[in-house]
Amino acid sequence: MPDSQWALVTPDAISIRNWPDGSVVFNARESTTTMLSAIAGGVVTVLMKAPTGTRELSAGAGTDAQEMGALLSALADHGIVRRAG
């Protein structure tokens, strides 16, 4: 399976805080506040630094690539991340 790259849709507009019970993401562009699982919060935090591939993200989070793929699709559905190639 080719390794897709992922990026935040509006990186400049995103703020995030990570806590043990989950993460809270603020999107200034859409003016939305969303609670994410700790793993999803970790993914957003990594993507705030630079676009990253699915494999690297799943290795970092200690999940398998398929689970990470499902998580990324869910984040894409919420307009938080997009495929970057």
Partner 1 sequence: MPADAVQTLADLSTGEVEARLHSDAGLRLRFGRFVAGIRSDLRPLARGIETLYGDYPVAGDDDFCDFPVELTGTGGLRRFVRPQVVFRFEGMQPFKPLPGQQAVAMLEWGLNWVFTNHAQHYLIIHAAVLERNGAGLIMAAPPGSGKSTLCAGLALKGWRLLSDELALVGLEDGLLTPLPRPISLKNQSIDVVRRLPGEIVMGPVAHDTAKGTVAHMRPPRASVDAALATVQPRWILFPKFGAGSACEVEAMGRAQTFMQLVGNAFNYPRLGATGFEAMARLVDACDGYTARYGSLDQIVPTLEALCARPA
Partner 2 sequence: MSRHTDTHLARTLANPSFSDSFTAHDWEALIGQARTSDMLGQVAEVLGASDRLERVPAAVRFHLDAALRMAALHKSSLLNELAVIGEALQDIGQPVLLLKGAAYAAADLPAGRSRVFNDIDLMVAKDVLNAAESALYRRGWLPTHLNAYDQRYYREWMHELPPIEHRSRGTVIDLHHTIVPPTSGHHPDAAQLIADARPVRIDGCPDVFHVLSPVDMVMHSACHLFFGELQKGLRDLYDLHALLSELSADPAFQEALLPRARTQQLEYPVLLAVHFAHRVFGTRIPESLRNECERRLSSRWNGALSDHLIDAAMYPQHPSSDSVWRRVRRQMLYARSHWLRMPLHQLLPHLAYKALVHRDDPAG
Regarding 79 and contact with partner 1 (CB under 8 A), the answer is: no
Would you call 50 helix, strand, or coil by DSSP? coil
Closest distance between partner 1 and the C-beta of residue 16, in Å? 9
Report how far residue 23's alpha carbon sits from residue 50's, in angstroms, rounded to the nearest whole number: 19
29 contacts which partner out of partner 2, partner 1, none, CB within 5 to 8 A by kind? Answer: partner 2
Report how far residue 28's alpha carbon sits from residue 23's, in angstroms, rounded to the nearest whole number: 16
**Which positions from 15 through 34 interact with partner 1, judged by CB under 8 A?**
15, 17, 19-24, 26, 28, 31, 33
Would you call 83 helix, strand, or coil by DSSP? strand
* 12 versus 77: smaller Cβ distance to partner 1: 12
22 DSSP β-pair partners = 19
How big is the site for partner 1, counted in residues (CB under 8 A)?
Answer: 13
Say which residue the tokens 């849709």 belong to. Answer: 9
Residues that bind partner 1 (CB under 8 A): 15, 17, 19-24, 26, 28, 31, 33, 35
